[in-house]
Amino acid sequence: MAAIDLIVLGMIKKKPQSAYELQKNIEYRNISRWVKISTPSIYKKVIQLEEKGYLVSETLKNGKMPEKTIYSITESGEKSF
């Protein structure tokens, strides 16, 4: 499993979040300093991990705000992590 997979799974395991929140947390923690992670790769990775069954998504709409997709880790994702 690639480092980006582990980073994404670990952060979502700690707290379900959107790809945008993941990107902001990765920037905040300076993770891209050690592992090459671009914004598009985060979005691609959550989709790939969901297709593998490691993540599950839920689309939420809050008032007039745009829809946002929140990702949570599955049991299969926990085992892989």
What percent of the chain lies above the pLDDT cut of 70? Answer: 100
* Count of positions (residues) in the chain: 81
Q: Which domains does the chain have, with CATH numbers?
A: 3-80 (1.10.10.10)
**Residue pLDDT, tens place only, 30-39:** 887 888 888 8
Smallest CA-to-CA distance from 18 within 50, 63, 51, 52 is with 50
φ, ψ of residue 56 in degrees (nearest 5) = -130, 145
- Give dist(CA 62, CA 74) in Å, integer: 24
Residue range 48-53: mean pLDDT, rounded: 95
Place of tokens 């007039």: 64
